[in-house]
Amino acid sequence: MRIGVLDHVSIAVSDLARSCAFYDAVLGALNLHRTVSGDNVAGYGTDPDLPCSLWIHERNGPNAAKPGLGMHISFSALNREQVHAFHAAALAHGGRDAGPPGARSHYSSGFYGAFAFDPDETKIEAVVREDLR
Indicate the angle between helix axes 16-28 and 80-92, nearest 10 degrees. Answer: 160
Residue 104's nearest CA partner among 129, 76, 70, 132 is: 129
Domain annotation covers residue 25:
yes
Domain annotation covers residue 50:
yes
Q: Say how many domains are in the chain.
A: 1
pLDDT at 133 over 80: no
85-111: string of b/e by CB count within 10 Å (b at 16+)? bbbbbbeebbbeebeebeeeeeeeeeb
Domain annotation covers residue 43:
yes
Question: pTM of the predicted model, to two decimals?
Answer: 0.90
How many CB atoms sit inside 10 A of residue 17's CB? 10
Q: What share of the chain has pLDDT > 90, as a percent?
A: 74
pLDDT tens digits for 13-57?
A: 999 999 999 999 999 999 999 999 999 999 999 998 888 899 999
**How many residues in total does the chain contain?**
133
Domain annotation covers residue 4:
no
Domain residues for 22?
Answer: 9-60+69-132
Q: What is the CATH number of the domain that holds 37?
A: 3.10.180.10
Distance between CA atoms of residues 70 and 73, nearest Å: 10
CB 75 within 8 A of CB 125: yes
